[in-house]
Structure 1
């Protein structure tokens, strides 16, 4: 079983499983955006091709079985064993279907934060151009964000949309359970974006009091599942909702009679299905989830590794004694208040990112945030080399 000591050392105990991404010889600090895939991911893609070539049209029964295995994996990660899960190629696809269920004509007001990922930022901005009132609550200070969002709810509010971990700063948003209760009391839908939590910050629908909430996310980042593996967790009351944006796959397993002439929907998460899709991504995802299980890469262990790695990056950065006018690190909260990456602040973040890449250190930047995202296949020596290179540039 993988241990913290075994991933700290060189060579890292997991690195040999990522030979095609050559993680042992590359400084891949883009883990918050796109972690490397283990080699077994390719086996999943080959399996998808084999099923298609062997079964032809009969491949869909096999593909649907893979999809159900993926749903089970997401249920486990969400600590929501009985939850209904819809799958989609992107969170945007799923958020659009979610928004098509809420009563925007009757309650044309949405509450969100100004720290949301581009999926929400852009789409909500476009809805605002069409007359929907979009209230953007300041993400900082994050300690009171949930409380301030709850205070912004009124009888015209259809939904509240917020991240569990902010994508720019890595700050964990506390008290989402209280926000869920406020939304439920007001008849308002709550959508929580857990993309920057799963695989690096344990997330529990049950213990966080999010039973009445919608939860979306995917496997492109910390879960190493690659593109095309996103989900929408439905709250129990969603079984009565009818998304306006719907595809013909949502008719599969339809049990309700449609004598009324209304469009019918399948039960559970299938009511949010789209149409024909490429199942290869699901095959890949199932193989990766099996690899995680075999290696003991549980949410709790991955959090332990992440806290060590981000803590190490922070302490190494402090030792640089860099001029705050050039680059700095927020120390207003303990490391436990952050997710899986370290966000340095610099007016030259983009320039530093480009110069780091030229020297073999791959990071990314958003505005004035330079983001270092470690991953469990990187050793302590590799993290030290990355910060040393940053120090040379500074």
Structure 2
């Protein structure tokens, strides 16, 4: 059984399972963006090829079984047994299908924040150019964000779209359940972007009060599922919506050969938000990784402990550097428990520092004025300490 002590030590207890990525010998601090895949992921990809070779077009029954394993994995992560889960290659295609199901003629107002990831930022900005009323509420301070979003919802609002964890700062957005209640009372949809929550921050549907909300996310980051494994969790009332952007898989279960061109049919549950033909290799890979997580007991509550320890350690090591605030700093007024799975350092030199770190073998990333250090369960405490030691060297040269 995996323990926090086993992950802290050198060698890290999980690292041998990631030999292809060589995590024990690399300082990979982009865990909030792209984590290493365990070796079993390659087994899944090989299985996809073998099934295609053996069954040819008959492979789809086997592929659909892997897809259902992925859905079940998300249900467990969300503690949403029996929940309706639509799958997609990326979150953008799933968000677009949802947006296309809204009655934007009658209710042409979308409420969001100025701290959303580019998937929402860009698409909503483009809709705004076409006349949709897009209201952006300041993401900071996060503590009052849900309340301020709720205050912006009126009778013209079709939906509120917000992240559970803000992608630039790692700040958890509290009180989303209260926002969900407001949206339900005013007949507006609530879409919660859970991408930066699943893994480091347990987001349990009922416990969070999000039973009537839509949740979107994926496994490219903390869940180590790789590309092509995104999901849209549907609330019970989703049966009343008919997405305009719709693929033929959305009526797959209803195909009879006598379809009427002027009538668009939808299958039950999450099928109505399905797309079309896709590459199932990603689901084979994800199924293997989800099984690996279960064998290693990498549950949401355990992973939360891991990330809180790792980001807390990075923050402490950073503070010990004594770097001047005008050069680089972090939010020290908010407890670490209010942050997700990475440490955000604010600096006007974020891109330069990231590039200098990369040239020295420390892989991080930057977004605007934020330099982001994203640990992962397969990194030891010594590796985290060494990463900050390299940052110290970079900052001294920058000064």
Pairwise same-fold verdict (TM > 0.5): yes
2:95 corresponds in structure 1 to: 95
The aligned counterpart of 1:61 is 61
Q: Any idea what SS the aligned residue of 2:298 has?
A: coil
1:344–1:369 CA contact under 8 A, matched in 2: yes
C-alpha distance in 2, partners of 1:188/1:142? 21
Q: Distance in 1 between matches of 2:388 and 2:271?
A: 46
* CA shift for structure 1 position 259: 7.6
Structure 1 residue 261 displacement after superposition:
4.9
Q: For each residue in 1:209-238, what CA deviation from the matched residue of structure 2 results, as whole angstroms up to 9, or x when unmatched? A: 101100000000000000000000000000
Matched, 1:108 2:72: no
For 1:243 and 1:383, the matched residues in 2 are separated by 46
- Secondary structure of the 2:232 match is strand
- In the other structure, the counterpart of 1:392 is 393
Partner of 2:274: 273
State the Cα deviation string for residues 106-136 of structure 1 (Å, max 9, x = none).
Answer: 1111000000000000000000000001000
TM-score normalized by structure 2? 0.97
Contact 1:255–1:266 (8 Å) recurs in 2: no
**What's 2:382 paired with?**
381
Shift of 1:262: 2.3
Deviation at residue 175 of structure 1 after TM alignment: 0.3
Q: Return the alpha-carbon distance in structure 1 between the equivalents of residues 176 and 170 of structure 2.
A: 16
Aligned to 1:328: 329
Whether the aligned pair in 2 keeps the contact of 1:255 and 1:267 (CA below 8 Å) is no
Name the CA distance, whole Å, in 2 between partners of 1:160 and 1:135: 9
1:199 and 1:169 map into 2 onto residues whose CA distance is 17
Q: How many residues in Structure 1 have an aligned counterpart in Structure 2?
A: 394
RMSD, aligned CA? 1.3
CA distance in structure 1 between the aligned counterparts of 2:163 and 2:151, rounded to whole angstroms: 17
The match for 2:125 is 125
Stretches of 4+ aligned residues off by more than 2 angstroms: 254-262
Q: Deviations over 1:247-292 (max 9, x none)?
A: 1111111299978952100111111111110000000000000000
2: CA distance, partners of 1:227 / 1:161 = 23
Asked if 1:244 is matched to 2:244, the reply is yes
Residues in 1 aligned to 2:154 and 2:303: alpha-carbon distance in whole angstroms = 39
Deviation at 1:82, TM superposition (A): 1.7
- Report the CA distance between 1:137 and its aligned residue: 0.1
The residue correspondences of 1:1-394 to structure 2 (distance < 5 A) are 1-254=1-254, 261-394=262-395
SS of 2:327's equivalent?
coil
CA positional deviation for 1:200: 1.2
